[in-house]
Amino acid sequence: MHEPLQGVFAAAITPLRDDFSIDLNSIPPLLEFLAGRGCHGALLFGTTGEGPSFRPAERIEALRVAQGWRQAHPGFQLLAGTGTPSLQETIELTRAAFELGVDGVVTLPPYYFRKVSDEGLFAWFSQVIQRAVPDGKAFFGYHFPNVSGVALSPDLLDKLKTTFPARFTGIKDSSGDPDFVRLLGKQFGSELTVLTGNDSLFSLALTSHASGCITAMANLYSPDLRQVWDSFIQGDMAIQEQAQSRLNEVRAVLGRYPPFPPLIKALIARQYAFPRWPVCPPLIPLSDEFMNQSMDELKALG
């Protein structure tokens, strides 16, 4: 079986050049930054990483560069976003990611046909798992119905876990729904690996048997997320609650300036002297007005 995937993962931004190609040379310093600030790992090409904006070949080349950096950082775990609306492209990209040596993949459901049945989704995921995921490797479904338009129901998750116990690991839950968080914990316990995508629900997810988080805010606030994680592991509820309260305040500020990719890219450039990387259309850069406004609000939090 694969090593447990747990802890704080950054939903990493993707460095781009002005022509919207991936800035491969900037991937190692970005990963070095995330590792140095307490992240246990990173997801490349998730939503914050603008994953669906890039061809499989572009994602594979960037993953190759990330794997090269990781040779000197074997404890840092890498996940890859491999979902596309195309079954065959998803299979090929997932297979290539595992061949490169990533620790796991996070795969969106096919997000064009939004009213398909659980039976149809099971057939689609079954093909990907059977044809692209080796036994003992970590495969996560990506539950983000507000964006993808396709939910992963508990019944579907149960069927996938029962059918593929050595390959279907769990989900990244970006629903932002506390009731769904509790339901997952009650129904599956620790049998399903859940990584929450919402910083405000991190403590709730951990007490509901989640294994960690994958969030956009981890690009900027991973020390705070680590404080929640470390305090939870140590059983220090007071520190955990204090750290979670700060995360809630920061998340409330950032939530006023959607979407996250241009916001995170603007703030990481302003706060940590990274380049002001562009975002790929149809996303547009955060305006200077909103960047200054968000910075002022964050500074007011201390």
Active-site position among 84, 172, 193, 265: 172
pLDDT attached to residue 302 = 81
Residue 160 falls within a domain, yes or no?
A: yes
Rounded to two decimals, the pTM is 0.96
Residue 3 has pLDDT above 60, yes or no: no
Residue 137 falls within a domain, yes or no?
A: yes
| CATH number, residue 110 | 3.20.20.70
Q: What is the pLDDT of residues 160-215, one digit of tens each?
A: 999 999 999 999 999 999 999 999 999 999 999 999 999 999 999 999 999 999 99
Residue 4 has pLDDT above 90, yes or no: no
Q: What kind and span of H or E run contains 212?
A: strand 212-215
> Is 112 an active-site residue?
yes
Q: What is the pLDDT of residues 22-36, one digit of tens each?
A: 999 999 999 999 999
Residue 192 falls within a domain, yes or no?
A: yes
Residue 65 has pLDDT above 90, yes or no: yes
Domain housing 212: 7-238
Residue 25 falls within a domain, yes or no?
A: yes
Report the distance separating Cα 92 and Cα 9, nearest Å: 24
Q: What is the pLDDT of residues 88-118, one digit of tens each?
A: 999 999 999 999 999 999 999 999 999 999 9
Residue 1 has pLDDT above 50, yes or no: no
> Is 163 an active-site residue?
no
Report the distance separating Cα 236 and Cα 254, nearest Å: 27
Active-site position among 107, 142, 169, 257: 142
Over residues 228-238, the mean pLDDT reads 96
What total number of domains does the chain contain?
1
Residue 2 has pLDDT above 70, yes or no: no
Residue 297 falls within a domain, yes or no?
A: no
Residue 262 falls within a domain, yes or no?
A: no
Report the distance separating Cα 4 and Cα 7, nearest Å: 10
Residue 27 falls within a domain, yes or no?
A: yes
Residue 109 falls within a domain, yes or no?
A: yes
72-100: buried (b, 16+ CB within 10 Å) or exposed (e) per residue?
eeeebbbbbbbbbeeeeebbbbbbbbbee
